[in-house]
Copies of this chain bind each other. A is one copy, B any other.
Amino acid sequence: MDSSLLSEIESFFESAPPLKDRAGIADKLKEFIELNSPPSGSSRRRIVCVTSGGTTVPLEQRCVRYIDNFSSGHRGAASTEYFIKAGYAVIFLYRRGTYQPYCRSLPDNAFLECFEVTDESTVQVSEPHSEAVKSAIRDHHAAVAGGVLLKLPFTTIFECLQMLQMIAVSIRIIGPNAMFYLAAAVSDFYVPWRSMAEHKIQSGSGPLDMRLVQVPKMLSVLRKEWAPMAFCISFKLETDSKILLKKADMALKKYEMHAVVANELSTRKEEVVVVTNNGNIPVYRDKTQAGSDVENPLIKLLVDRHSAYIKDSGT
């Protein structure tokens, strides 16, 4: 691997503010992996790390302003549900405030919109939302209590990538049974912590010029160093469909992904293209089914591919 990339990555992590509660997160990960893939047990689940939502890039050390990559987290939340349905245990590495698994069909501000207090002073679900609310709460609790869903929140790009590294290194022991489904919108640019303004940038002195440097590409190091046996899926989002497939294919080869899911901003809920070394596979939402989504067939396809990959690995 390119030694300048390795030193860029090292300097990214060295310059990052320390991750809060690193030891607590490490404990949770260890426990989750042991529970779902006991070293001496025969009933091992596959484990997928789903990343979801956008990362922020702080522009000031005492952070008032930051650059945000927009992502609702809908894709990651939906995919998590289908992975669990397919028997996987999911480490859901998500941006705070984005969509949560099992809660996609709820309105914004669900807490205020879905409940009412009766005259007898008990809280009840408002009628139109009754079924959605019940299944959301029930299914979410079942997944967490059942030990197949571990949720880890992040806000900044530093937190997201620090935790991704921890997950990858911990999950390495399960070899090809591990999968990475990297749906989060990770920023391409950042301001190194040390060169960041300590205090709020002052206005009043003309335009603001900013220089952001590229985030080193972690995908290479994830594949080659952190978890070399894991099955890796990355995402490519563009607003310009003309360059989308070409860029997805470049990412596939450059980072040696097992598949890249190409999606265009305006049609991403209807279709995606799974770009692989054996060709491109378009995946469509089933338009004949009300309430269907593109994640259902997408996860089916990827689970099949993962099965074939595990078989090929001969374990």
A120-171 residues with Cβ-Cβ distance < 8 A to B are 121-125, 133-134, 136-138, 140-141
Chain B residues in 8 Å Cβ range of A138? 117
A263 to chain B, nearest CB (A): 12
A88-138 residues with Cβ-Cβ distance < 8 A to B are 96-97, 100, 103, 106, 108-112, 114-117, 121-125, 133-134, 136-138
The verdict on A1 contacting chain B, using a C-beta distance below 8 Å, is no
Select the stretch in A40-48, A57-65, A176-184, A300-308 that faces chain B. A57-65
Q: Is the CB of A133 within 8 A of B123?
A: yes
Q: Is the CB of A238 within 8 A of B200?
A: yes
Q: Is the CB of B212 within 8 A of A208?
A: yes
Contact of A240 among B70, B141, B199, B237 (CB under 8 A): B199
Residue among A96, A117, A134 having the largest count of chain B Cβ atoms under 10 Å? A117
A206: nearest chain-B partner, CB-CB: B214
A100 to chain B, nearest CB (A): 6
Q: Mark A277-315, 1 if CB is under 8 A from B, else 0.
A: 000000000000000000000000000000000000000
Q: How large is the interface on A (under 10, 10 to 19, 20 to 34, 35 or more residues)?
A: 35 or more
Chain B residues in 8 Å Cβ range of A238? 199-200
Chain A interface helix/strand/loop/mixed: mixed
CA distance A137 to B116 in the complex (A): 6
This chain's copy number in the assembly = 2
Contact of A214 among B62, B203, B239, B240 (CB under 8 A): B203
The verdict on A245 contacting chain B, using a C-beta distance below 8 Å, is no
A203: nearest chain-B partner, CB-CB: B188
Q: Mark A63-75, 1 if CB is under 8 A from B, else 0.
A: 1111111100000
Q: Mark A199-233, 1 if CB is under 8 A from B, else 0.
A: 11001101111111110000000000000000000
A74 to chain B, nearest CB (A): 14
Q: Is the CB of B116 within 8 A of A141?
A: yes
Quick one: given A100-B112, A213-B207, are A70 and B59 in contact (CB under 8 Å)? no
Q: Is the CB of B96 within 8 A of A100?
A: no
CA distance A199 to B240 in the complex (A): 6
Q: Is the CB of B207 within 8 A of A214?
A: yes
Contact of A65 among B65, B70, B141, B207 (CB under 8 A): B70
Query: Which 4 residue pairs are nearest across A and B when measured between Cβ atoms?
Result: A188-B203, A62-B239, A208-B212, A117-B138
Which positions in A face B, CB cutoff 8 Å? 56, 59-60, 62-70, 96-97, 100, 103, 106, 108-112, 114-117, 121-125, 133-134, 136-138, 140-141, 185, 187-189, 198-200, 203-204, 206-214, 237-240, 265-266
Starting from the known contacts A203-B214, A207-B213, 17 additional A-B residue pairs (CB-CB under 8 Å) come to A59-B67, A63-B70, A64-B69, A64-B237, A64-B239, A65-B70, A68-B68, A116-B141, A117-B137, A121-B134, A123-B133, A123-B134, A189-B208, A198-B239, A199-B240, A208-B212, A209-B209
